[in-house]
Amino acid sequence: MPRMSKRETGRRQRHQRLRKKVVGLPERPRLSVFRSHNHLYVQLINDLEGKTLGGWSTKDERLKHLKRFGTVEAAKALGELVAKDTVKQGVSRVVFDRGGYLYHGRVQAVAEAVRAGGVQV
């Protein structure tokens, strides 16, 4: 198993520090973002029950029209998809978990697109 880089170790430490305060409840689940080099992954999580309510990524069939998947445009499209499906599930408020990443670029684009889709973040 390859060793983690200093960057990945730092991100995981920041994420653990954030997770002490950010908790997903049944009425306000946690919207967690993971950013890889080529794709973005978003999950809606109820931490009290330990259940994932939904998961989306830029690998989704509904986003196949995009040419590149690791861009801000792809993040906006993913955020719109997440907002549409979240509202359909009856969830109107979420708590945003940026996963230890800076609130900038693709992570920010996902959050803003979810807000624009009618979900209170």
Give the separation between CA 20 and CA 78, rounded to whole angstroms: 27
pLDDT category at 1 given cuts 50, 70, 90 is: low
List the CATH code of the domain at 6-116.
3.30.420.100
Indicate the domain borders of the chain: 6-116
Task: Give the mean pLDDT of 17-41.
Answer: 95
pLDDT digits (tens, 9 = 90+) for 70-111: 999 999 999 999 999 999 999 999 999 999 999 999 999 999
